[in-house]
Amino acid sequence: MTSQPAVVGRDPNTGRPIEIRHEGGRIVEVGPVDFTVPDDLPWVAPGLVDVQVNGYGGHDANGPDVTPEAVVAMIKALLPVGTTTCFPTVITESPEAMLRSLRAVAAARRADPVAEHVIAGIHVEGPHISDQDGARGAHPRDQVRPPDLAEFERWQEAAEGLIRIVTVSPHYPEAVGYIGELTRRGVAVSIGHTHATPEQITAAVDAGARWSTHLGNGAHATLPRHPNYLWTQLAEDRLCSGFIADGHHLPGATLTAMLRAKGLDRAYLVSDTAALAGMPPGRYHTPVGGDVVLTADGRLGDAEGRYLAGAALPLAAGVAGAVRLAGLSLADALRLATANPGRLTEDRGRLEPGAPADLITFDLEPDDHALRIRQVISAGTVQP
């Protein structure tokens, strides 16, 4: 197997060395090694698939300064931390601002071959969400508005057909029809930032919603013990739920209980990173959150230290968090960041012949708060 480009590492499922041969940006063979390997052989896995990325490395997919160049820079900043597939996420803003962001992402994908490969689609999170405090999260209240199919069509035109997933709250009277129509068009619908009743959530799922956006976050500070929208989404087997496992958004016990409730086949990890993710610790001023503080452990909060102001750790930290906080095996944690979110794509997140040659090698010790990436390969090309 060594006559072709190959990557050698330990299989997280078995612990045994494997060799992955690839040609033309695609995996052609995965099999055992027939030679002696070093004792410090790293783990090997598919590149991470992040379906919710607002920004990274000081670059934003939103806001007044978004440009195609900024989106390309964001993509290239994500590769060294193991994210080889992402969905730039456009959040609630004015109609004009959202169209500007969508056009920037589409133009970035056209302009740069690396961005073209890494960007598997666009996630639109809002503006059809709850206007209530807590459930709304950091989305601007004055731009929250009901679902509108004509607006979605303007989005998709601006995005050049790249929108693959839309987060919506099902509490709107228009929600069921909107969800059904997006589903018919092949766009995934995710429930999030909601104050919907259990009945409204069930109606949304009946209409075609199949995902939950960062469940447990973007929620009210206090809820009725039961019923509430968290229990309904946890119990609904037709929903695959996303979780932020960075150690700041969900306590370990909460993450553990939610993952057990959903089961590993119906869960996935996201980073939900803001533009300040990957930046040095310090105090910053942002257009949305005002003065915020990024700590050395990756917590992004308001200046008073009371509330979170976004996420600041990449998906590689979420994988380590799922192992450390929820007791998952490395193989199971990786599945939640590769194959499961990869269902929103045609072929990402898989380590098998025919899949893209998107690979990472890394180390992970019990106390590590993120995968320690050694090498990233995107479409068969070694990344810096």
pLDDT score for 288 = 66
Tell me the pLDDT tens digit for each residue of 215-251. 999 999 999 999 999 999 999 999 999 999 999 999 9
pLDDT score for 2 = 41
pLDDT score for 34 = 84
pLDDT score for 373 = 98
Residue located via tokens 């995902």: 211
Query: In angstroms, rounded to a whole number, what is the distance separating the alpha carbons of residues 58 and 343?
Result: 29
Tokens of 80: 């060294």
End-to-end CA separation in angstroms for the chain: 25
Q: Are 249 and 258 in contact (CB under 8 A)?
A: no
Tokens of 260: 């057990």
Q: Is 19 helix (H, G, I), strand (E, B) or coil?
A: strand
**How wide is the angle at C-alpha 47 spanned by C-alphas 312 and 74, nearest 5°?**
45
Residues for the chain: how many in total?
A: 384
Report pTM: 0.97
Query: In angstroms, rounded to a whole number, what is the distance separating the alpha carbons of residues 191 and 212?
Result: 5
Q: Are 44 and 18 in contact (CB under 8 A)?
A: yes
Using CA of residue 371, residue 374, residue 379, residue 380, what is the dihedral sign?
Answer: negative
322: part of which helix (H) or strand (E)? helix 315-326
* Burial class of residue 191 in the structure, from the number of CB atoms within 10 Å of its CB (0-12 exposed, 13-18 middle, 19+ buried): buried
* Burial class of residue 263 in the structure, from the number of CB atoms within 10 Å of its CB (0-12 exposed, 13-18 middle, 19+ buried): exposed
Which CATH superfamily hosts domain 46-350? Metal-dependent hydrolases (3.20.20.140)
Of 19, 44, 24, nearest to 354 (Cα)?
Answer: 24
Strands (E), 36-80: 43-46, 48-53, 55-56, 59-60
Residue located via tokens 């940006």: 25
- Ramachandran bin of 298, using left for φ above 0, alpha for ψ from -120 to 50, beta for the remaining angles: left
Query: In angstroms, rounded to a whole number, what is the distance separating the alpha carbons of residues 373 and 355?
Result: 21
**In the chain, domain spans:** 46-350
Residues of the chain predicted below pLDDT 50 = 1-3
